Every structure is written in structure tokens, then in C-alpha cells.
Chain A
Amino acid sequence: MYKLRPFSYSFNKSGKTKNIFLEETLSFDKNELVAIVGPSGGGKTTLLKILKGIIPEYSSGVLEGEVTFHGKPLSGSNFQDNLKKILYLFQNPFSQLIYPTPEEEFLFSMENFNFTHQEMNASREKFEELFNLKNVWGKQNSQLSNGECQKLVLASLLAINPEVLLLDEPTAFLDPEARADFYHFLNTIRGNRLVIIVDHHIEEIKDIVTRVIEVSIDGKISPRADLKFSEVKAQESFGLEEIAIPRFSELQLKMSNMSFSYVKKTSLLENLNTHFKAGEIIAIKGKNGTGKSTLFKLLAGIMNPTTGNVTLEMGKKKFVNKKIFPNVGFIFQNPESHFFYDTIAEELKQSFKHIASLELKEAILKRFFHEINLDKSPFLLSEGEKRRLSILMTVFLGKSLLLFDEPTFGQDQRSIKEISQLMRELKKLGLIQVFISHDDAFIKETADRVFVLKSGSLNEIS
């Protein structure tokens, strides 16, 4: 199917020329499930775009060398010929939406390739079952959670039955159950097709992957023998003791009979009663669409509960419902929502002003980014780097309650360890940290208490 002879692709990234290159010949064939691994910012997404033909067809960079599909280059008229054969799922599923409603969105890809009504109906039934899409019908696309959106776009692409599937973190927002079903599905369909996947859930895909390609941080593409990576060791302390943000000891976050509903008579969250204490790291798990993001909005004081209260107690001071807002640091799912300024330095200025030591600032940056130019726009970073920047911009603001929405999305193992280490050190300052995650390994390593949100109830699990 694919033949990749030595090639190099160079493009401008943050003012520097970034190179992605291959020094040997590689070929991929059907019945393979190839995992592309490597640190975030290395060029995994770029490699997928080369394999789709988006690069060089829709790119300003320079590709030298040869990448062929069925013996023909991927660009020019061949790009159009390969549209149905090679399908590509973007990293951010919302980027791929065309229509306002999920139903039309699901049918769009099949309509483009002139599927009959019977075929479309059969696909709908099949994927409705596989991805539990019944929950999304009738909604607006703008109302979908990331997980729901990801399932929808995936289903729409898979319904085409392509020869090649290029998947960029297809399970990043899926809950473990949906992930397991999806991996099983991938394994069953790969028989007469090629699947190339970028995924950080290495433990979960290792049994179905047939080959592994690594893209190193300097852009070198090379085959790996397997998915066994040397265990990333526990990271050294950041040394946050000296930073000048308040310490909290008498801090509590209480939910008292808290309920919430968007539609009358249909409670999304029902009668939540629990409390988190100073220095605790809380993980919230739950299936896609169960209301985790809504719970976060209530804890942050963005919305008021329909009934009951959420209270943040800081010693004698009490902040109820929306009054909590000034004490909260919120890390959004979409890191771009955090960025306001032209440069990374300006974005970090507010958060880093509490860190007097220049060495400490540099050490933190070095551990969070392989290479960073502070004078460049934050929008030019890779998705994983943007996420890490948004975390650094928020955690040192001196807020007593930190809420992280999917902090490990798009992160390699090393970065996940660094984020975990940072959270554990912030714990010593007495902050309450709550995070939503589908990453069980991260939860196990980081959280003190784990809660599952199911059918409107929040239950602690051991």
C-alpha cells in the first residue's frame, strides 16, 4: 500500500525550521495496525498529514523525497482519487464538524461517496450500537461533549469503509469502556485495511498493534521493535516550596444536596453531598455525557446549582455558589481558550511573577517543554504543548481551588509524569485540586480520592 522512501519535510515552526525526516525505506500494507509514538511536538500529526497527502498539497512546507500509495504519489490528481481510500481523523474532533446537528454530520461522509439509503441506514444502525450514538441524536453539535463529538466524527468516517484509516488520538476523550470497545472494533476491521494510529494509551493498544513507528523530538522517523518503553522514572521535585503563593490549611469544598438540570424535570446531577479537604487531589471519572464538565462549572461558580449549594470554606470565610469564582483556577479542555497575548512570555508573566527564582522558572519550563521560544505566539505550539502551557499559566495564580479538565490529553508519558509531579507538589501547598480524566494510570498515580459520576450521582470508589 504505502511506500515511504527516505524523505524530509521542512516547515516553519515558532520561527525555526522544523524537520521531519526518514532515513530508510518503510512500507505499510493492509492487515496492519501501526502505532505512531513519540514525544508531543515531535511531528506525529505532521507524519499523518503526509500520509494523507494534505502535505504537500495544502501546506507551505517543502517535502523532498517520495511517499507513494499503491505506487503513485499522494499529491496532485491522486489526492482526489484517494479521498475515499484514505480517511483521516483530526486531533480535535470539533474541527471536523460541518453541520449543526449530529444526524446530518454522521451522514455527510457517506453522502459524499454516494452511498445508497439502505447502506446509510445499515451504517447508522451499526454505529449507533457501537458508539452509543442514540444519546447524541436530537442535540445540537455545539452541545456535544468532546467524547460525544469524537465518537460522532469517528463513526461518520468509519462508515465509509476506507482502505486506510489515519487516526490522530481517536480515543483521547473516550471513557475506558468506549475505548476498549473501539480498540476491539479496530482489531476486527483491520483484516483488509491498514490502520495507522497516534495514541498515548500504549498499555491498552499494545496487544493489537502490529508495528510501531517512532517520531523523535528532533523529527526522526524510525521503526521500533515494540511498544515497550523504559518506565519513566518518578520525577525530581520542582522545589515549589519557595514560591510566593498563599498556603492553605483550613480549606474545604462542600457540596450540600446539590442538584442541577438544564431541562425542567430532568436532573443531570442529583443531590450531591460530599466534601473535599485542603491538599486533596480528586479525580472525577465517568462516561461521556454524564455531566462531568457541568459539575466543574458548578464547582467553579460559573453556574448556580438548581437546588442545594456548593461552598468553599477558607478558615472563617465562606464562598457560596457563584461567589467561589475568584478563588478558582480553571484549566479548560481547549487550551487555546486561555491565550490572550502575542507571546508565550506575556502569557506566563502573570503566573510566574510569584516565582522569584529565575533558575526555578527555567527549570519548570525545561521540564514542561523540550524546547521553547518565549517570544513566539502560544498558538504556534503543538496541541500537547499548548495544554502544558495552559497548566503553567493557571496553577501559580494563587488560587485555592484548581480544576483540570482532561489535563493529560495529547501528552506523552514523560509529560504526564511531569504534570502528575507538579500536582503532587501543589498538594503540599494545601490547594484542593480536582481533575476530570479518562486516564486510569494517571488517576492511580496522582489522585488521593476517586469519584465516579454516574446517573447523576457522584460516588467515591476505592
Chain B
Amino acid sequence: MKFLEGKKEYIHSWYLLIMSGFGLIFLLASTTLPLNFLMASFLLFLYKKNGLTNKVLFRLMAYALIFASVFLFLNLLYPGEKLKVGEQITLGQFTFYKAALMNGLINFARLFMLSLVSMCSTYAIIYTKVILYLIIHKGLKVVMGYPLLIALNSILLFKEEFDRIRLSAKFRGLGWWDRIFVLFPLLVFAIRHSQRGALSLVTRGLNPNKSFYFGYDLVTSDRKWLRSFFLMFICLVAIAIYFR
């Protein structure tokens, strides 16, 4: 593969992070499901454009579905006092209040959209790019930004190390009690990784006057998308307040 082939983003990660932040606040606050659906769809469209694959999207949908379903069951099993009134519905051996079911379904839908958008955002936003953009353009200090970068990038290494440690325990035939101590080598790995990472930054010459090969600049289309998003956001907030 050629140097830096296929690394272009449809929309800059920094703006996508801002949009996701506002979008998540909206999804959290709004109880008007059609508006939530509109916001979630818009964000998912941007995530897809930024490289979120269908495979990942469906997998995350499954996770969000499980998470939201648990919440639905909790709503049905332990409804608030105000919901324990009116018509009751019987499903097999279980009997629910209709009001509790309706409330549970609304919460289920909201939670599904909220958790799906938040999980998808982690796949679509390149946090390295966000941090480097903030260092270059927004004055984030390199002594703050780079350790943050190491910490974020170590997540994948942690995952790999965790898998190796888990496998090692299985190869050795350690019992479940010993396997709990998987946290111990992982903790050691974390400490040593941070120590080595810090040393690496120092020995490789990190300094505040460093230059950057890439500008990580925003382009006109990024600004257009951000403006469009805020226009939509204001409209949705206004409608949501009107129908509250």
C-alpha cells in the first residue's frame, strides 16, 4: 500500500465529535421519538460516510438492542407508582400495566438510539486526529496532548495484551479463581506501558516547537456540515420544546 493511502475523512473528526456531543445531549433530553430518530439518523449517516461499515453498525445495533431490552424489562418489572394504574396486559405468566409498557417502550427506543449513536461515534471519530488538531490549531499543549494520545492508542494494545494473558491462563489451565487475577498482569502492563511511553516521548525528542507533516486542517465542506447540523439542531430543539 502507498504511504497514507485511503486515510481521507468525509468530515473532520473534530467537527464530528462536536456534532456527536450535541446530538447525544439532544437524544438524552428529548422525549419526542420522531425527533430523536431524525437526529440519530443524521448522525449515523455522517458516521457511515466517515467509514462506519454495515458489519460494525449491525453488531453495535445488537449490543444496543440488548442493553435497551434490559432497561425495558426493568421498566416492566419495577414500574413507578404513577404507572401502576389503568389497564393491565397479560403475556404468558406475566402481567404488566399498559402505562408501564408504553413508558418502557419509549425509554427502550430512546436508550437504543442513544447507546447506538454513542457506540458508533467511537468507530467513526479518529481521536488521534482530534487531539492533533487541538494541538496544532487550538493551543493544546504537547505535554498534555501526546500522553493523551498514547493513552488512547494503548487501548488496542491493551486489548491484544488482555487476549494474550487470557490465552496464557487457558493454556496453563488456571482455574476461574486464578483467572480473576488477569487484572494483575494487565495492571502491570498498563503501568509499564505508561512509563515506557513517557520515556519514548522524551527520548524521541518531543518538544513544544515541533512541526507537523499534516495540517489536520478543516475544509469548507466540514464547515458546511457543521452549519447544517446546528441549523437542524436548533429546529429540532424548538420543535421538541413546542411539543413538550
Contact = CB atoms under 8 A, between A and B. Distances in A.
Interface of A: 52, 54, 58, 80, 83-84, 87-88, 90, 92, 94-101, 103-104, 107-115, 117, 120, 124, 128, 134, 137-138, 140-142, 156-157, 160, 300, 302, 325-326, 328-330, 332, 334, 336-342, 350, 379, 393-394, 397, 399
5 contacts: A80-B207, A157-B204, A160-B205, A337-B168, A340-B168
A140 B165 CA distance: 21
A399 B167 CA distance: 15
Contacts of B197: 95, 98
Contacts of B207: 80, 83, 112
Contacts of B167: 302, 330, 337
Nearest to A157: B204
A87 B203 contact: yes
Contact of A96 (B1, B3, B188, B200): B200
A88 B199 CA distance: 11
Given A142-B160, A157-B204, 19 more contacts: A54-B199, A58-B199, A83-B205, A83-B207, A95-B193, A98-B204, A99-B128, A100-B128, A103-B3, A103-B7, A112-B210, A137-B3, A137-B4, A330-B171, A332-B164, A336-B185, A336-B189, A337-B168, A340-B184
B153 interface: yes
Given A111-B213, A112-B204, A340-B174, A104 B128 contact: yes
Interface in B166-208: 167-174, 178, 181-182, 184-185, 188-189, 192-193, 196-197, 199-207
B94 interface: no
Nearest to A337: B164
Given A332-B168, A340-B169, A98 B3 contact: no
Contacts of A115: 211
Interface of B: 1-7, 128, 146, 149-150, 153, 156-157, 159-161, 164-165, 167-174, 178, 181-182, 184-185, 188-189, 192-193, 196-197, 199-207, 209-214
A391 to B, nearest CB: 13
Given A302-B167, A340-B178, A112 B188 contact: no
B200 A124 contact: no
Specify which of A103, A326, A350 lies most central, judged by the most chain B CB atoms within 10 Å of its CB.
Answer: A103
A300 B159 CA distance: 20
Contacts of A330: 167-168, 171
Contacts of B196: 90, 92, 95-96
Contacts of B146: 98
A325 to B, nearest CB: 7
A125 B161 CA distance: 33
A54 B203 contact: yes
A98 B135 CA distance: 15
Nearest to A112: B205
Contact of A114 (B164, B173, B182, B209): B209
B149 A98 contact: yes
B1 A340 contact: no
Given A83-B205, A95-B200, A109-B204, A137 B156 contact: no
Contact of A134 (B1, B164, B185, B205): B1
Given A332-B168, A350-B172, A120 B156 contact: no
Given A83-B205, A134-B1, A137-B5, A336 B128 contact: no
B203 A88 contact: yes
Contact of B4 (A98, A103, A338, A394): A103
Contact of B205 (A84, A90, A94, A340): A84
A204 to B, nearest CB: 26
A124 B161 CA distance: 30
A112 B208 CA distance: 9
Most chain B CB inside 10 Å of its own CB: which residue of A108, A120, A328, A342: A108
A75 to B, nearest CB: 13
A96 B206 CA distance: 12
A142 B205 contact: no
Given A104-B128, A326-B173, A379-B188, A337 B203 contact: no
A334 B162 CA distance: 12
Contacts of B153: 97-100, 141
A393 B193 CA distance: 24
B210 A340 contact: no
Nearest to B209: A114
Nearest to A134: B1
Contacts of B150: 98
User: B2, B146, B178, B213 — which one has the most chain A CB atoms within 10 A of its CB?
Assistant: B213
Contact of B171 (A109, A160, A329, A339): A329
A340 B2 CA distance: 41
B91 to A, nearest CB: 40
Nearest to A89: B203
Nearest to B207: A112
Contacts of B203: 52, 54, 83, 87-88, 96
